[in-house]
Each structure stands twice: as C-alpha cells, then as structure tokens.
Chains A and B, each alone.
Chain A
Amino acid sequence: MGLLNNTMPANAVTNAVDGAVNWGRKSSLWPMTFGIACCAIEMMAVFAATYDLDRFGAGVPRATPRQSDLIIVPGTVNAKMAVRVKRLYDQMAEPRYVIAMGACVCGGGPYAKWGYNTVKGVHKIIPVDIFIPGCPPRPEALLDGILKLRENISRDDVFRRRRDTAQTLDSAYST
C-alpha cells in the first residue's frame, strides 16, 4: 500500500482529503472491456449513446486491466472462466471495484440448482462491491449499480485508518 494509506486518524483534515480523493476516484472510473454472455449486450448499451455512461465519468472501457479499476462481470461464469476472471481481477490497478451483473453472476441464476459447471456467484472468486440482479438487468439497472458504487467509493478510507470495508476483504483474497 502507499506510504500514507490508512495511517491517519479520522479528523477534519483527513476527512477532507479523503473526500477529495474519493471524489476523484468515483468521477473517473475506468471499466474494463470485458463481456462473458448475454448481459454484456446490455452493458454495451450502457456504454453507447442512448444510456451514455460517460455522464458519470465511466464511459470509456479500457482494453487492458492495467488501465482499469472497475470490472463489470456480465454473464455466466463457468468453472473454466472463473480462473481467468480471478486473474483479470488480480491484474487490475488498485483500488479496484467489481460489479456483478446479472442473475448468473449474483448466484448462479437459472443454473443455480442443476448447473454442473457454473460458478454459483462470482463473489466466490473475487470480492464484489455491487450486485445487480436481473436476467439480464436493464441498462438502467446497471446505471443504478454504478451510481451505488459511486456512493460506496465516496465513503472509502484513503488516509483514514481503515474500517471494515470491502477493501479488507480484498487484501484477504489477494494473499
């Protein structure tokens, strides 16, 4: 972690600086170009002109995980893909955020009971910030998820000592 990250007590100064940093982070999310199944079609619609994700600063999907800090997992994750999803998440720049899009990613969806090869929820592989149910979710639902993620980011701890958030989960997963 960075030199000063999560070392300061929470007071007026660190609260203000954390607010500024979080404002920057939430206003310039870089999603990764990543689509697995049918939910990806809805995700592409969100990136396109009608729904225009660029209004929220997250409209330019990057072609490499090195440049992206948001992975939207859109579609059924099977056992073979799970290894790849984990590695893609590992290779992303930190701080990184995960949106689980669709019923399959949230908990197996139609394959929850009899799917022999489907991972029953991507949260079993990587820490998820936002779950968006639906089969597939409408573009508005994904927009709402990203807005919720922005709220989460604005409450994040940068300099303040870390409370128990998704990021502690993150470090637990990465070791």
Chain B
Amino acid sequence: MFHDYHAVLVFLIAGCVMVCAPLLLGALFRPRNPYPDKTIAYECAEDPVGEAQVRFDMRFYTIALIFIIFEVEIALMFPWARIFRHAADVPLALWAGLFFAFIVFLGLVVDWVKGDLDWIKTFRNKRRVQE
C-alpha cells in the first residue's frame, strides 16, 4: 500500500537536495572573512550608539493609532480636494467630503472621551474603575 507514496518520498528528497545544494555551493564559493570592523552594526559608518532593543513607552501605541486616523483622512481628502471643482454635483461632493471628515472626527471624539489623548491617565482610569 505504501507503493503509492514513492512519489512523495522522491519529492521530499528532491526538496531537501534543492534546499541544501545551493547552501553547500555557496559555502564553497563565497569568501568568508569576518573581522571586527566588518561585523560592527551598520549605522551609516558612525559608531553604533546604544542598543537596538530599546523599550518604548506603551502610551505611544495609542498616539500612533490616533495618528493613523488622521493620516488616512488626509490621504483620502487630497484626491477629493483635487477633483472637487470638476465634480458633477459640487454641493453633493462637498457634503460627502464633510460627512467623511465627520466620521473620522467621531473617532477622535471617542478617543477624547475615553481619555486616550491624556498622557497621564492613571487617576481617571482608577476613578472609572471605582464607579
């Protein structure tokens, strides 16, 4: 019954060879010459400063999310403003654009009410928990 699976075995072996052969060939061909000046971190040829794994404040996370809201708004408002004058129905285009801006503004209001715009929000959240 396993005779049917010979092809799978062949494919497995061929796959392994096709992965390993280029690696082996590369090891035979490529120059290998590490030395301290070469292995140092690349920072535009300056001496590396600090560590790569720096901790960021978690509060930047919400700031970044809010930024994305307005980035999307700007990105979509530009083409709207560009073709605004040539729209078939200018008042409709105006109201559509304002409606879109209003939706995005609602997102800002939600963030505002939830206190995401406050850098220090410990007290506020505590009070909310007590309520």
A residues lining the B interface (CB < 8 Å): 1-5, 21, 64-66, 83-88, 90-91, 94-95, 158, 171, 174-175
Q: Tell me the count of chain B residues lying within 8 A, CB to CB, of chain A.
A: 15
Question: Per a CB cutoff under 8 Å, which of B28, B35, B40, B46 touches A174?
Answer: B35
> Contacts of A174 on B, CB cut-off 8 Å?
33, 35, 37-38
User: In the complex, what residue of chain B is closest to A158 when comparing beta carbons?
Assistant: B29
> Contacts of B46 on A, CB cut-off 8 Å?
84
Q: Is B31 touching A87 in the complex (CB atoms < 8 A)?
A: no
B residues lining the A interface (CB < 8 Å): 27-33, 35, 37-38, 40, 42, 44-46
Interface of A, helix, strand, loop or mixed by DSSP: helix
Q: Is A91 touching B42 in the complex (CB atoms < 8 A)?
A: yes
Q: Is A4 touching B28 in the complex (CB atoms < 8 A)?
A: yes
Given contacts A85-B45, A86-B37, A174-B33, 7 further A-B contacts (CB under 8 A): A1-B31, A2-B27, A3-B27, A84-B46, A87-B40, A91-B37, A91-B42
* Minimal beta-carbon separation of B113 from chain A (angstroms): 43
Can you list 11 A-B contacts (CB < 8 A)? A1-B33, A2-B27, A2-B31, A21-B29, A64-B42, A83-B45, A84-B46, A88-B45, A91-B37, A94-B31, A175-B35
Q: Is B32 touching A90 in the complex (CB atoms < 8 A)?
A: no
